[in-house]
């Protein structure tokens, strides 16, 4: 279809106006679906603009047998080699879940150490930070596992063993107070954020999975910013987020 630049601009303006006119309807539809009143929640949520990973969890948990197969994104996500090892987007989903599980486990170790008095006096704000962030990481892991489950794969309950063995276990041994813990946590948050950014920029193919990664990466960066702020570092050190430190699907999960 041949159109002139002028016609294109006019049509774009019309579209923009119509977009504004119908946006409330679209938002209402999304809200309705989030509340479970939609007729094809899972299919819509995987494909719709405005998807949130929170909604994704709702969709996965509220499994409706009647719309089996409606998860259009699952087809492109589903992949494994002949040995049964996950490949492609599903491998990244599994990696992400394992990193989130590792974060959950590490914050728990910090909370346990604090409870046992091994970290000295723990300010209330630090305890709140650890428990809140831990819960958010649990929710992030659930989001990735919902993708795996939706594709017929088992949820990942293990952690990224590669990072655990090389970084967390030796590093946590040197955590003796809340400052050490905060510095240690920054490393984990930055690895998670970098892994998601790398996934979005270089690895993930499925639009739904890109949205999930995109909805989580900025939260991990917030965790990191607050930790920097409390430690006395400049809280937004990078003008552009980096992929340095990103983990890959070759990491061992166990």
Partner 1 sequence: MTNMPTERALNALIEASEDLHSDAMRTTNAGLAELVERGHERRASGEVDPDETAAYQTDRSRLLTKSLAGAGLVGVGLTRLLASPAFAQSSMDVQAAQTAASIENLAIAVYNTATGLPFMQNIPDPAGATVVAFVTKTVEQHTDHMKAFNAAATQLGGKTQDKPDQVVFDSVVTPALPTLKSPLDVVKFAADLELVAAETYLAEISAVSDKNLRNTFASIMGVENQHRAILLAVAALLEGGKPELIMLGPPADQLPAAAGSVGFPDTFLKTDQARPAAEGAVK
Q: Segment 99-158, which members bind partner 1 (CB under 8 A)?
A: 121, 123-130, 132-133, 135-136, 139-140, 143
Contacting range for partner 1; rule: CB under 8 A; set: 24-32, 84-92, 101-109, 163-171: 24-32
DSSP string across 50-91 = T--HHHHHHHHHT--GGGTT--HHHHHH--B-TTS-B-HHHH
Q: Report the SS3 class of residue 160.
A: strand
Count, residues near partner 1 per rule CB under 8 A: 79
162 vs 196, which CB is nearer to partner 1? Answer: 196
Shortest Cβ 85–partner 1 spacing (Å): 25
**Residue 174, both tokens:** 């040197």
Restricting to residues 181-200, name those near partner 1 by CB under 8 A.
Answer: 193, 197, 200
Considering only 185, 215, 246, 247, the residue that binds partner 1 (CB under 8 A) is 215
Taking contact as CB under 8 A, which single stretch among the options 25-33, 95-103, 105-113, 145-153 is the one that binds partner 1?
25-33
Closer of 26 and 166 to partner 1 (Cβ)? 26
Question: At its nearest, how many Å lie between partner 1 and the CB of residue 133?
Answer: 8
Q: In angstroms, what is the minimal distance from the CB of 141 to partner 1? A: 11
Calculate the CA 247 to chain-centre distance: 14
As a whole number of angstroms, the distance between CA 245 and CA 10 comes to: 46
Query: In this structure, are residues 43 and 71 in contact, taking their beta carbons and an 8 Å threshold?
Result: yes
Interface pick for partner 1 out of 179, 180, 183, 245 (rule CB under 8 A) = 179
DSSP 166: I
According to CB under 8 A, which residues from 216 to 235 bind partner 1?
A: 216-226, 229-235
SS3 state of residue 253: strand
Q: Which of 154, 148, 155 is nearest to 77 (CA)?
A: 148
DSSP class of 193: H
Contact, 189 vs 227, CB < 8 A? yes
Q: Is 54 one of the binding residues for partner 1 (CB under 8 A)?
A: yes
For residue 238, the minimal CB distance to partner 1 (Å) is 5
22 binds partner 1 (CB under 8 A): yes
């Amino acid at each position: 279809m041949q159109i002139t630049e002028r016609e294109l601009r006019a049509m774009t303006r019309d579209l923009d106006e119509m977009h504004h006119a119908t946006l409330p309807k679209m938002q209402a539809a999304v809200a309705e679906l989030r509340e479970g009143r939609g007729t094809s929640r899972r299919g819509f949520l995987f494909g719709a603009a405005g998807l949130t990973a929170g909604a994704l969890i709702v969709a996965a948990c509220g499994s409706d047998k009647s719309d089996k197969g409606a998860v259009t994104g699952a087809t492109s996500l589903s992949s494994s080699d002949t040995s049964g090892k996950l490949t492609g987007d599903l491998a990244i989903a599994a990696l992400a879940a394992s990193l989130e599980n590792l974060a959950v486990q590490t914050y728990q170790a910090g909370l346990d150490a604090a409870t046992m008095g091994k970290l000295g006096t723990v300010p209330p704000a630090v305890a709140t930070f650890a428990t809140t962030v831990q819960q958010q990481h649990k929710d992030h892991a659930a989001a990735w596992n919902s993708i795996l489950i939706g594709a017929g794969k088992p949820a990942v309950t293990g952690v990224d063993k590669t990072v655990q063995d090389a970084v967390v276990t030796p590093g946590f041994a040197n955590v003796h107070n809340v400052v050490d813990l905060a510095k240690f946590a920054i490393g984990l948050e930055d690895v998670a954020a970098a892994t998601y950014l790398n996934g979005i920029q270089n690895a993930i193919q499925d639009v739904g999975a890109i949205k999930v990664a995109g909805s989580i990466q900025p939260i991990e960066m917030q965790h990191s910013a607050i930790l920097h702020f409390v430690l006395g570092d400049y809280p937004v050190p990078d003008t552009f987020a980096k992929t340095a430190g990103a983990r890959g699907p070759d990491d061992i999960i166990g």
